[in-house]
Amino acid sequence: MGPNKFWVCLVRVLALNCAFSFAPKMSAQNPLPFPEPSISPSSSPSHVNPHTPAPTATSRAIDKPELHQALHDLTNPWTVMCVAAHPDDEDGTTLTILRRKHGIHTVSLFSTYGEGGQNAVGPELYEELGVIRARETIEASKIQGSEPYFLGLRDFGFSKSAEETFRVWGHEEALRRIVLKIRELRPDVIITNHDTSRGHGHHQATGRLILEAFDAAADPKRFPEQLQSLTVWQPSRLFVRRAAGGAGAPAPSTANTEKLIIVDPNERDPLRGTIYAEQALTALQHHASQGPWPKTIAERMRGQNSLPPIRYALVREAKGTGQLPDSAKMFLEGLSLRGAVSDWLAPPTIEGCALTEFIDEPDRVLNALIGWRRRQRRSTSVPAEYSHRLGLMIERGNRALGLTSGALLTLKSDSSLLVPGNPARFTVTLANTGERTVHIKKLSFHSWGSRASLDAADQLVADTETNSTLNRMTPTTAEPTVPPSHHLYDGKLFGERFDADADLEIDGAWFSLNAETRLDIASAVEIKDISPSLYVFTPAIISRPLVLKIKLSNTLARPFRGTVKLSAPKYLT
């Protein structure tokens, strides 16, 4: 090396002789409806310590909006999917109206995690920003009442065209992923803000993919490998949002023939006391990294008395499905279910009226739900093609029965992080906060690919609970899921899932409850920081001792002793 040349040495730290104590770690990620990574079964046995029912102070008043939503959900067996290129591109107002007003099952599908965007709240960019935006999306979706899913395509920043986007994404791979999600989630209607020629290249590409996938998902020749575990699915309708005018508006001749659905964002939610657009704005504000957003709905209206209507045009309609009436005001009008499935899905009523009319009479509502569930168990079987719809409504019925009966299932872990080769303790609690006896048919815990049956009391009388604790060994082969930015694309972003299930019976009606938690997996010891991580040598400092500051973190709940080694180029030794 010449005496007048500067050069850079990257220092790698492997381990150092030291002892250090426990440092607190980040908490587990929020659950997300996302394909689960493959799990290796643990060879460790479950250690179960059942407890008999004990008095508890868990009695709680029923949350009326929560109960109203659960009962309202029983009236609608349809699914609407909103497809968007990035988090915050979804139509939050329409999603909120579909779920809160109509009880429709809504899902959001995002092409990317938005990792190529800006960050208005911190220095994180790229994969680190993608993690932030995924978490923001989860919180926003809770307010909208929708379920978020991601295709995991890369957000590489601004793109000028769909062609440029497909050169990065790969057209067939992107199409394969969206077809897979349509076959998994089986939407009846798809809506999107994106057309095929306007705006960001990711938006254009997403718009094109939806048009192709609408029919490709129903074609057994497209991506047949998916059909080993799934079946084809044909959505009934596809709607694309139209601008009020200007760019993106259809040509006059087309506009005169398009069937439009008009959504009023100014409509008021009588239960929650706000307009639906205001609820959607609250959800949008959770996308803080993409802000700043208007602080109030008045600020968003910008001095106007109301927000403009949202207009959607019907661009695809499957053959053999009911046509959308010219006077339709909602995406699903004209679609119907017939025969046994229609009878099976008929919602419970009291004297011919919806259960939401009796929300102040929870005991009558519970009786109606019990009778409805009994009738369902006696019903004849329905075609397999409707199994997803039946599964959705069974799940919704379970939720309604859980709320009205007061049965509550929770799952907690003593650990915020899992370490391979080390045990973790879980506690499953089943409480009866209602007034009637609940019979326990089965209580189980699922982890690492295996399910353990838990010993529990046969029944829970009012204001009692039963607890089971389990110690589960984390497999030595379990791969770390932290830092999350390293796992944005591999299905491990939200950690490892653990869940508990309870099969219950009340007055002859069977129902199930589920509780889940997700935990991250980390090494026993982590190098959190090296300062400086980039060391610049000059002739003036080449002979000075090399000084590094190393920050280590002990994930274990006990002291750890080990070694740290410094690897350096030969010319420094």
End-to-end distance of the chain based on CA atoms, in angstroms? 15
> What number does CATH give the domain 78-336?
3.40.50.10320
pLDDT of residue 256: 62
DSSP string, 513-532: EEEEEEEEE--SEEEEEEES
Tell me if 160 sits within 8 A of 120, measured CB to CB.
Answer: no
Cα 479 from Cα 496, distance rounded (Å): 10
- Domain limits, CATH 2.60.40.10, in the chain: 47-60+406-521
pLDDT of residue 62: 77
Residue entry with tokens 């090399």: 546
* Helix spans in 101-169 (H): 127-144, 162-169
Express each pLDDT in 364-412 by its tens digit: 999 999 999 999 887 767 778 889 999 999 999 999 999 999 999 999 9
DSSP string, 531-567: ESSEEEE-TTTTTSPP--EEEEEE-SSS-EEE-B-EE
Q: What predicted TM-score, i.e. pTM, was given to this entire model?
A: 0.86
pLDDT-above-90 percentage for the chain = 72
Q: Is the pLDDT of residue 413 over 60?
A: yes
Residue 375 in tokens? 């009738």
Q: Is the pLDDT of residue 285 over 60?
A: yes
Express each pLDDT in 460-519 by its tens digit: 999 999 999 999 999 999 999 999 999 999 999 999 999 999 999 999 999 999 999 999
> What number does CATH give the domain 47-60+406-521?
2.60.40.10
Alpha carbon distances (Å) from 255 to 14, 207, 248, 330, 530: 65, 19, 11, 19, 61
Q: Is the pLDDT of residue 8 over 70?
A: no
- Domain limits, CATH 3.40.50.10320, in the chain: 78-336
DSSP string, 435-453: SS-EEEEEEEEEETTEEEE
Which 3 state secondary structure label does DSSP give 487? helix
Q: Report which of residues 257 and 232 the model is more confident about.
A: 232
